[in-house]
Structure 1
Amino acid sequence: MNFAFALRRMRRSWRQLAVLLIGICLVTAFFALPPLYVRAMVQSGIRFTLDSAPAERLTLTLINPQPFAPADWSFITAQLGDLVGGLTRIARSAAAFGGFSYQYGEPTTELTPRSEFSFHAYAFSDIEKHLRVLEGRLPMRLAPPDSPERIALTEEERIDKGIGMYSTGDVEAVIGVEAARQSGYGIGTRFAIGEFPANRVVVHIVGIVEAADPDDLLWQGNRRALEGEVIQVGLTDRQYQLAFIVTEGAYSDWIAKATQTLRSGQNNSYVWLIRLNGQAVTADTLSTMRERLKFVVDKLTADYRGLLSANPLLRDLDRYVDQVARTEPPLILLAGAVLLLMLYHLITTVSLYLQTQAEEWAALSSRGASVGQLVRLQALTMLILCVIGAILGAPLALLLLNALWLIGPLGAAQGGAPIAGIPANAYWLSALAAAAAFIMLSAPALPSARRSLAQFKQLAARPPQLPTWRRYALDLILIVVGLGFIARLLFFVEGDLGQTLSLLLDNPPELIQRIVDGAARTGGLSDPFNLLGAGLLLSGMALLWLRLFPALLALISLFTRRSNGLTAPLSIWNVERDPSHYAQLVLLLIGTLALGTAALGLSHTREIGAWAAARAVTGGAVRVVLDGRDAPDLDAWRALPEVRGAESILRVESAQQAGTVSYTLLGLPLQRFSATFPETAQALMPLQGQDIAVRRTFNRQTRQPAEVSVVPAVISERLAREVGAAQRPDRQPLRIGNEAVIELLLPNNTRWPVHFRVMNVVRSFPSLNESQQFLLMEQAHLGRLIFATPATALVVRPVPNEIWLDLPQGAPSAALQAQIAAQTGYQSALYAWESYTDLLREPLPAAVAGMLYAGFWVSLLLSVLDFTFYLAVTARRRALSFAVLRALGWDANQIWALLAVEQTALIAPALVVGIGLGVLLAYVILPFLTLFGSVALSLPSAGLLGVLLALLAAFAALIGAVAWWLRRMEIHRALRLGEE
């Protein structure tokens, strides 16, 4: 049996094999999807991050104490290519340096009086682009020290050329408006710089300038070039340091030497601001650009001792590379688990195909064909189909990705369009799926090839045998092994399986939170045993349902037999008499529904959790920072469009200073705040009805009795640990009921003691994370504390300085943002929507939900193909039975009713079990996605209804087509088909 014979058989059965080929292509396309999916999400994330990034995040800053060599720029452009967008060079003095009093015609010596100012020198490339001249002109490069123009042999020549002690300007410079005001210098002013007489340089001011673009990145670290600097000298005195700007040539000719100091020698910094082109970074070039960028910095660091670099883009690229490394393997593992279900689809289809070939195979076997020849015949046929599937898998995966981008959760969260092209590993995964399909599709040929014609006729007259999995109790084995892996996971959460099981029963969200917190111990989706346990458990439960399915039908038949009609009993009998055919179809329906339910549940839970997390980061849907001069008009804020509620907050933060602890106090209007922001109600409940307590104490400084106000407060866990360790005798964290005191450093360098009583301890609070030390209290209580200390009231205004707004979930309109910015006292605003969209771009949660969603649609298509194939194979048998019913007087409506009841008995239980297993699958996967805290699973009713309607519509269309075909078939034709 050669290749030509296999092709002839394929031509005869091309319709059936075409259906099988479509199924193979769907399977290979799905398994090739993970790298495409991750690549599309990474591309979307990169574009969102880089397109909205400020200029400093797309700038490579190199600070070198030595001048860069010209070859360095050629090296950088050769390595980074299109990533390089431009270069700005800066030369500047590293520290302030001195000068001399300018005295024309007198030599400069150590006895020459010093300048009244210290100096900072700057030089910029493209100086005309960065400066706007207000008076005078821009500087020009004058003759360098070694120029022949500066050679003079006589006194008269030195006077004529203006060199040496007769210099009227070795260097031309410009100064900023503020520098001119502070120093009193103007156009024509000359001053001498240099720490040593031999290095003296006369600077001539030729212009007054300002920044051409004050927001240019150049000025973020070089504002001093225009303004100079006022420094503290001693306890009371201040000194102004003058800054001036020269050309690059003048800096290298004269200034670099003049800046040298006695103690530090070289006193220059050469800065390269390399603008990077974010468009050059894509998901495909991500790793390459990262490696090249890192190589450039490492090479220059090795060449120049003391070189410093700031490379924000490299941190972003490292983050995305890490996300790909953490996302792609678990996603492929998840796709492999779903692949098993899809391979079962193919096995079901090929089993039906082999049934149509059974008589021919039995005849060939009876005529001398060996088992090996028949198996090779099937293997060769499947090999041809699988090779085609392997080739088409990756391109079809790209089409599937584009379809999911339009209708699935990925496109809604990412926006735009997926990146074009197909990565190489997608072809490898497609080939791997095709190889697995080839093995699974060839294996059923072995038992079929062993049957002779006599055995075939005997099997046709015997009832179907029990499936292999049922004979060996595979369902029970899978459940036990799956429970073992789940128990392993739960043990790692707390180290105590009993305590973890108690949490599972009493507080599932808390268990999810602990699994998230213990991701390092549990392994998450990167641990294959976690996902394997869930897969085995769900597979075992699905098979267990198939074991119970005949019993359920028998129970239903007890009721239908009592019916006077024939429709219901006959429908149940058709399913009950041959459960092996229906069992496989039921299992496929269960798996399909489980995937759809899990995908919808995880996507919906992600959206809810992301919005809750975004509000927690921001503080409400919008947090507006006010200037704190006047009390805000809450009625005006509440009257804004889209605003459902608004509350004022008094935030007091300690001054930032090295070596001091930072504290944050929040004064909240408790009566209204919890109602407007329900997520805070549990944390703030213990403060309700509490008042400030007065304690008598002894002031050691005044040596007089004193009274202190102890305010009831909710504190953070970190503050409880830190203050408890410092003030409790046992060094334990503060507990509810404890009293303690903290000291806030105020902007005037004084300390404000705040005494408090612990009413509750929380991990975090909206706008405050777990790493911060904070206190929450009644707003009126905070005001009383401020007024209780007159010195504090002079520094801290007891006026609300923030407004928190509650909005519906969604993007705030441009009109609302404009009205917020127009409110009295507005300074800035933070929007939860920005954090929300960023959270939805987290690759792992989005990829898992998206792959399950893709798996549902592919599995649904495979189920439709399976049902189509099954109905086509059994059409002759069903045609005879329906023809007999038509001969007995049944009309079309009765045939429709019979099919409806029969399929309802088949599909309805599968719907219930499939949805239940989908919920269980989502619960199992939910903790590993490290979503956003203890978020309970939420199922969208509309989405779930849509999945059910899609499934029911697909199968209703098939059943309707079969009923229409059977109804139109003539009785005598059906009887002839039955006799064949």
Structure 2
Amino acid sequence: MWGRDRYPLVGMGNVAVLWKLLLSHGAANWRMLAVLALGVLVSSTLLASAPIYARAMADLGLKFSVRDELRGAPSIGAGIEAQQLATPDSLAIREAVEQRIGERLGWFASERSIILESARLTIGETGSEPRERTTLGLLYAIEGFERHVSLEKGHLPVPGDPDGPLQVAMGARAASIARLDPGDHFLLVEELDTCDRIIPETELEPQPPCDLTAIVRYSVPAVLTGIIAIEDPDASFWAAASDRYVLPRAPLVDSGLVLPMVAHVDSVLGELATSYPGQRLSLRWNILADIDRLDQGNFQRAREDILGLNEDLRAYSGYATSALTLSLEAFGRSADFQRAPLTILLIQIAAIALFYVALISVAVVERQGEEIALLRGRGATTSQVVALYALEGLALGLPAILVAPFIAGGVTALLGLTPVFSEISGGELLPVSFELLAFPLAALGAALSIIALTAPALAVASRGLQGQRRVIARPGLGLIQRYYLDVVLV
């Protein structure tokens, strides 16, 4: 209660006196003000959580939808065809391509491996075997393949002596068709001729015969070191193409089966490149995207960088492709529609919190009706009384503005520990990105709370002393009417 002799009438316009009134008022009514402060904080937090929660759900939806559609970590394939192994021009092109891949995809890539694929090589013993009806070999050098295969017999290829044979591994069926066991030596024969071949659209179609006028051959000594099998064909490392590295392929019209074999990448880029720099091959890169680095703010950039890399590599007769671009495009079309309902729901909840603040404000001001009338009777103007309550609301609102976005972010992160999100979040905290919009929305919640506090004060202060006496003399309102529950029901 504000006593009659507690505050002097002189200087009601003085800021110091207004602050003194504010402090004394707060001390006398701290319980009700604490409840009111809680309401202000809740309303500010709910409004601040709208962009934070919507962003977190969008980020979570992006990661879940991409992983669900692409079955794990998505891969991005890039490649250039018709290259030579280690000539100056081919090395310059390879360096330029790897630089473009790093610039475009490095910011969200988790792993990158290079794959070298040779031309079809004749498997022989003397190097003079005719290509017709002869089993062919397809040499691959895959960076990091050792972690994704199981060894059935022998040992995996390792970089060897520059003067020694090239070490390779094969799948069991391919080795059986070639009649090779671990430890067997053979030759991989590169054959160049003047035949103007027509490449069929698919490997199942026969290749038309052609006129042959000249042939040049050179041989690469090789040794089979082991029999391997793919450990997990569905692993992202293989980019859904694991069979091509271990299973025989359909024959061409003038040859036997094509058998894949795998060498250590350092052997091909090192010893083989030194001895046979003009060896024909194709280069491919398999880049695994780290979905955890993608969010609502950068997923469009990721899609544009993949498409941009494809445009960049066209200058080298290359390409870049990934199913990830389609997933990101589909997510972009639906993101805005998914975000709007969440924001509307949170705004509705915030409106309930503001209604709670309004009810508490009405209760606080009505309890202080006599004190407000006393201030008016001692010379205080309506604006001065309203200013007192506005300062009181500001004192409650400023801390709420500062802490509400952080509380909203913390609560949103904790949702990852709840059963509802545990399957998606893995039982860990949800990743949260702070939105700058959260602070203006927190300020809006505080401002609306201040209005909810000052509006009843304005109504009571406008009555004056005589008006307050008439209100007291009237019969009291029921609970429903006193707190405007009748308005809510209507």
TM (norm. structure 1) is 0.38
Check the 8 A contact 1:28/1:389 in 2, yes or no: yes
CA distance in 2, matches of 1:275, 1:402: 27
Q: Which segments of 5 or more consecutive residues in structure 1 lack a partner in the other structure?
A: 107-111, 144-148, 150-168, 260-267, 465-573, 591-912, 914-980
Cα deviation for residue 356 of structure 1 reads 2.1
CA distance in 2, matches of 1:382, 1:337: 22
CA distance in 1, matches of 2:242, 2:272: 16
Check the 8 A contact 2:180/2:224 in 1, yes or no: no
CA distance in 2, matches of 1:405, 1:190: 58
Are 1:451 and 2:451 matched, yes or no?
Answer: no
CA displacement 1:67-118 (0-9 Å, x = unmatched): 663465566557766854333221114xx647698867x9xxxxx9544335
After TM superposition, list the pairs within 5 Å mapping 1:309-328 onto structure 2.
Answer: 309-313=320-324, 324-328=335-339
Are 1:200 and 2:200 matched, yes or no?
Answer: no
The higher-RCO structure (CA 8 Å, 6+ apart) is 2
Check the 8 A contact 1:38/1:324 in 2, yes or no: no
Greater shift, 353-362 or 329-338, is seen at 329-338
Are 1:122 and 2:140 matched, yes or no?
Answer: yes
Q: Secondary structure at the match of 1:62?
A: strand
Which residue of the other structure, out of 160, 175, 182, is the alignment partner of 1:180?
A: 175
Are 1:60 and 2:57 matched, yes or no?
Answer: no
Cα deviation for residue 202 of structure 1 reads 0.7
Q: Secondary structure at the match of 2:380?
A: coil
Q: Which segments of 5 or more consecutive residues in structure 2 lack a partner in the other structure?
A: 1-12, 84-89, 194-213
Cα deviation for residue 359 of structure 1 reads 1.9
CA distance in 2, matches of 1:36, 1:257: 57
Which residue of the other structure, out of 261, 279, 286, is the alignment partner of 2:295?
A: 286
Partner of 1:301: 310
* Code of the aligned partner of 1:452: G
Are 1:210 and 2:227 matched, yes or no?
Answer: yes
Check the 8 A contact 2:418/2:427 in 1, yes or no: no
CA change 1:211–1:35 in 2 (3 A) is: farther
After TM superposition, list the pairs within 5 Å mapping 1:567-716 onto structure 2.
Answer: 575=478, 580-581=481-482, 584-585=484-485
Cα deviation for residue 328 of structure 1 reads 2.8
Cα deviation for residue 353 of structure 1 reads 1.7
Partner of 1:87: 112
Q: Secondary structure at the match of 2:257?
A: strand
Q: Secondary structure at the match of 1:63?
A: strand
After TM superposition, list the pairs within 5 Å mapping 1:145-294 onto structure 2.
Answer: 175-184=170-179, 187-196=184-193, 200-207=217-224, 209-211=226-228, 213-215=230-232, 217=235, 220-231=240-251, 233=253, 239-246=256-263, 247-249=267-269, 252=273, 257=278, 259=280, 268-278=281-291, 280-281=292-293, 286-287=295-296, 290=299, 293-294=302-303
Check the 8 A contact 1:36/1:398 in 2, yes or no: yes
CA change 1:97–1:435 in 2 (3 A) is: same
CA distance in 2, matches of 1:122, 1:335: 56
Partner of 2:356: 345
Partner of 1:69: 94
CA displacement 1:363-406 (0-9 Å, x = unmatched): 33233322222222222222222223222323443565578777
Greater shift, 43-52 or 287-296, is seen at 43-52
Cα deviation for residue 271 of structure 1 reads 1.4
CA change 1:422–1:414 in 2 (3 A) is: closer
CA distance in 1, matches of 2:328, 2:470: 67
TM (norm. structure 2) is 0.70
CA distance in 2, matches of 1:191, 1:413: 50
CA displacement 1:775-814 (0-9 Å, x = unmatched): xxxxxxxxxxxxxxxxxxxxxxxxxxxxxxxxxxxxxxxx
* Code of the aligned partner of 2:268: E
Aligned length: 431
Check the 8 A contact 1:362/1:449 in 2, yes or no: yes
CA change 1:318–1:202 in 2 (3 A) is: same
Cα deviation for residue 458 of structure 1 reads 1.9
After TM superposition, list the pairs within 5 Å mapping 1:352-501 onto structure 2.
Answer: 352-398=363-409, 401=412, 416-419=427-430, 423-424=434-435, 425-462=437-474
Cα deviation for residue 287 of structure 1 reads 3.9
Check the 8 A contact 1:28/1:430 in 2, yes or no: yes
Q: Secondary structure at the match of 1:459?
A: helix
CA displacement 1:808-851 (0-9 Å, x = unmatched): xxxxxxxxxxxxxxxxxxxxxxxxxxxxxxxxxxxxxxxxxxxx
CA change 1:34–1:439 in 2 (3 A) is: same
CA distance in 2, matches of 1:255, 1:122: 15
Greater shift, 75-84 or 377-386, is seen at 75-84
CA change 1:405–1:83 in 2 (3 A) is: closer
Which residue of the other structure, out of 34, 38, 44, is the alignment partner of 1:28?
A: 44
Cα deviation for residue 349 of structure 1 reads 2.0
CA change 1:34–1:194 in 2 (3 A) is: same
Partner of 2:206: none
CA distance in 2, matches of 1:170, 1:422: 55
